[in-house]
Structure 1
Amino acid sequence: MLLFVFAVIVLLIALNALYVGAEFAAVSVRKSAVKQMAGEGNVFAKRVLPILEDGVRLDRYVATCQIGITLSSLILGAFAEYTLAFRLSPVFEGLFHLRHETATSAAVIVILVVLAIVQMVLAELVPKTLALLYPTRTVLVTYLPIAWSTFIFKGPIVLFNGCATLILKIFGFQTSTHRHIHTSDELAILLEQVHEDGVLEPDEHARLQRALSLDAWSAAELMVPRRSVETIDRHAPIDEIVAAVARSHYTRLPVYEGSSDNVIMVLHTKDVVAAIASQGTIESIEPMLRQLHAVPEVMKADKLLNLMRRRRTQMMSIIDEYGTFVGIVTVEDILSEVFGAIGDEFKAGQPLPEVLADGRVRLPGMMRPDEAQRWIGLLWKGESNTIAGLVTEALKMLPSPGDRVEIQGLEVEVEDVEERVVRSVLVKPTQKISEAQS
């Protein structure tokens, strides 16, 4: 008889562990992993995937686990008290000379405390840990028992879920699925943890971090400034336009109408070349022009990228607060924030950062101060978006080659100037920087 009692107790603890593991696995498993296994023909993965993709069904699945946990715990406590208390009370009577009622109460307390400890360890902590370590395997292994339980508990599930939803609505809370949606800050923390665990390589970690911080950059900080943009007049003679296309190193040329501030179209040079190749000549570029959408210079990079994707364009013009055309931004400009320097035709010809033999660092004038930090060991702060702007701010006059100025403790020498704009500078960094950083 005693053996049967312990067998029932073990069974109830196992059921509790099953429901706990199934619940944690269901809310922590990656759908992509289950989807991959379903694609490979795993039968249980095919059954589980629709549940994970449907918030309502996932709610029912989790509710089944919670009902199973509650029922198994209650039954375990009641069964153990009923079957073991009367066996243990005579022991307490003999050892401590207690009255029967007192010995029975003490036996019940001891049984419940021991069961609580055993259940906490074996039916809660162990299955939870295993489910979090192996969520995919756990959710597949526990699918059939939970599916059967869902059918058995169908009535109570509907009743309890309905009551819970009603109570939440009464207090003004929005109901949602059990799957947690991480914010960008939470994702950044998770990335840091994964990186510390050695799962991500440093370059991969850096790229993912930059992808999450796109909302930190504005269009003005990423754009190619107006002075570096080659444009053509929409109504210029066709011979001049063809000659400009032939001279240009770019595949896309912004087109203005009337004033050079009114940049409204873009011409793909490949369209001109294709037309000349097929027809021998062209009479007008109008059929080849494509609309160039404008955005304010304060628009953030993440929103800008989404806008480009929706409008299926790779270039946009940037307008300042006065409605003046101040530059262009391309998909390459945004992606370079995530993947590092990408060969952008509009930035071709600019000096590249490099460490010189004397320990100084050559930096391009159009580089952003935050990009220069890894080269000079210091984050320059100021109102300008470029090193050229910072140098001009510090000099308080138009720069000339050879001008020297101190910026936040670093000596900066103007190396090259083009059309009154600093093209490159030489900086003595705060620490020795090797070319391996490039």
Structure 2
Amino acid sequence: MHDPAMDASLMEVAPLAVRVSGVTVPNSAIAIGGVILIGSLIALSAFFSSSEIAMFSLADHRVEVLTNDGVPGSQTLKALKSDPHRLLVTILVGNNLVNIAMSSLATGLLVMLGFGQGQSVAFATFGITALVLLFGESAPKSYAVENTESWALRIARPLKFAEYLLLPLIVVFDYLTRVINRVTGGRSTIETSYVTREEIQQMIETGEREGVLDKEEREMFQRIFRFDDTIAKEVMTPRLDVTAVDRDDDIDEAIATCIRSGHQRLPVYEGSLDNVIGVVTLSDLVREWRYGESDLESLDHFVEEPLQVPESKNVADLFEEMRREPVEMAIVIDEFGTTEGIITTEDLVEEIVGELLGAEEEEKITVIDETSVSARGDVNIEAVNNALDIDLPEGEEFETIAGFIFNRAGRLVEEGESFDHGAVEFSVERVDDSRIKRVRITEQHDQLAAGRSAESVS
């Protein structure tokens, strides 16, 4: 039987039309208009989401190249990336406004179409979330990753327009986020580089595996990264290996000392090496000796004031200081003012380009095979670790292979002695006046494992 009351109830729940500002609007028109608006907001959400990926994935050096080449949109792109914090706030404010507006619009639209408030909120929440994840986040971000440069150029001007449009909100939130970061002692995530030193080092190693870089290029890049973490003590020529000139020597004696040492410059001391008063250069001495018109016999006229640095000084800072002075040699002293050694600009350059061997010099590290190297006693432990891909410890009381062996033995060692440290064997190849001059270092995983097995059986 037909029930008029039920028909009236259904009409109440799902009216065919809605009066808006005194005008009756059909449900179909409301639905179509709502879908168009939501679609537009999803497009804006996609725009802001892809902008974040494109803008912050594009390296600054590429922006400089694009700007120098006069590529359209590059100037706007550079202006946006010049203030990454403001750029991030612009994108986040725009994206959040769009997403919140989309959810609110969907909820209101469903209510106007006759759904209950609870149903409208639930449908809008889950429905809009799904739409935003698929079409406002995932798809546009994937596209931006694949087309970072072209997309960044394309969206630069619209993004700049959005910054002007939302300027009041952006200024407020930009200020508030900076205040909060200062209070909490944190930094905005965007102020931290997307690329770390470790990631660059991994890319260098990948480049070697892929054949883009050869071994020598990879080692040079790695030395550049280590350069800033190296101190003077690790690079210096130690005191025992330093040849110096006595202040009381005459010019002929000083020239002879320089020639015997094979060095162009030597420190000059008074009394002992703990009192270095300067540096003399062989070319200056020879020029005066051969062509000088005066009767100068004292070295004082040729001694240049020394640059003295603590053994803990960072070598990158030292290199800059030696270039600025300019000087070719620095005297390394310890906390008590005692001379520990010397550093030349050649020593610092070798930390980047590798060993520059003289006619009679031997290489610091000679690779014997994949598991063995022969190293000078004064070689830094880190260099051996890199050569064999092992992890020998570095202590405060030693930094070289010779220091490591002395520390382990607890005494002076003799030529031919061997020591084990885990799966690494050290064989002392040459000793000169109680100093370890050459050591053979060998990985022996299989031998140690076999030895342990034999011991356990016995």
Q: Same fold (TM over 0.5)?
A: yes
Contact 2:416 2:430 in 1 (8 A): no
Name the SS for the 2:355 alignment partner: coil
- Aligned residue-pair number: 409
Distance (whole Å) between structure 1 residues aligned to residue 137 and residue 372 of structure 2: 61
Match of 2:100 among 49, 54, 74: 74
Which residue of 1 is the match for residue 270 of structure 2? Answer: 257
Distance (whole Å) between structure 1 residues aligned to residue 421 and residue 34 of structure 2: 78
Give deviations 1:276-296, integer Å, cap 9, x for gaps.
676578836556543322223
Is 1:295 aligned with 2:309?
yes
Distance (whole Å) between structure 1 residues aligned to residue 93 and residue 398 of structure 2: 61
Larger mean Cα displacement after TM superposition, 69-78 or 172-181: 172-181
Distance (whole Å) between structure 2 residues aligned to residue 215 and residue 64 of structure 1: 36
Shift of 1:206: 5.1
Larger Rg: 2
- Extract unaligned runs of 5+ from structure 2: 1-28, 447-458
Larger mean Cα displacement after TM superposition, 375-384 or 128-137: 375-384
Q: Which amino acid aligns with 2:376?
A: P
Contact 1:17 1:122 in 2 (8 A): yes
Which residue of 2 is the match for residue 180 of structure 1? Answer: 192
Name the SS for the 2:268 alignment partner: strand
Contact 1:276 1:282 in 2 (8 A): no
Shift of 1:108: 5.2
Q: Which amino acid aligns with 2:69?
A: E
Match of 1:236 among 241, 249, 260: 249
Is 1:222 aligned with 2:248?
no
Shift of 1:148: 1.6
Name the SS for the 2:54 alignment partner: helix
Matches within 5 A, 1:203-352: 203=215, 207-214=220-227, 217-273=230-286, 279=292, 283=296, 286=300, 288-305=302-319, 307-308=321-322, 311-339=325-353, 341-343=354-356, 349-350=361-362, 352=364
Name the SS for the 1:35 alignment partner: helix
Give deviations 1:13-70, integer Å, cap 9, x for gaps.
11121122223433443211101111111232123223323x3xx4443333223223
- Extract unaligned runs of 5+ from structure 1: 90-100, 433-438
Which residue of 2 is the match for residue 35 of structure 1? Answer: 64
Distance (whole Å) between structure 2 residues aligned to residue 112 and residue 398 of structure 1: 77
Name the SS for the 1:136 alignment partner: helix
Q: Which amino acid aligns with 2:164?
A: F
Name the SS for the 1:255 alignment partner: strand
Q: Which amino acid aligns with 1:291?
A: E
Distance (whole Å) between structure 2 residues aligned to residue 16 and residue 235 of structure 1: 81
Give deviations 1:85-140, integer Å, cap 9, x for gaps.
545x4xxxxxxxxxxx54x6425532442222111221123333444454433332
TM-score by length of 1: 0.75
Distance 1:328 1:130, change over 3 A: farther
Q: Percent identity?
A: 24
Contact 2:429 2:440 in 1 (8 A): yes
Is 1:52 aligned with 2:78?
no
Distance (whole Å) between structure 1 residues aligned to residue 287 and residue 93 of structure 2: 70
Is 1:17 aligned with 2:43?
no
Q: Which amino acid aligns with 1:23?
A: E
Q: Which amino acid aligns with 1:113?
A: F
Which residue of 1 is the match for residue 136 of structure 2? Answer: 123
Name the SS for the 2:131 alignment partner: helix
Contact 1:85 1:111 in 2 (8 A): no
Match of 2:201 among 172, 180, 191: 191
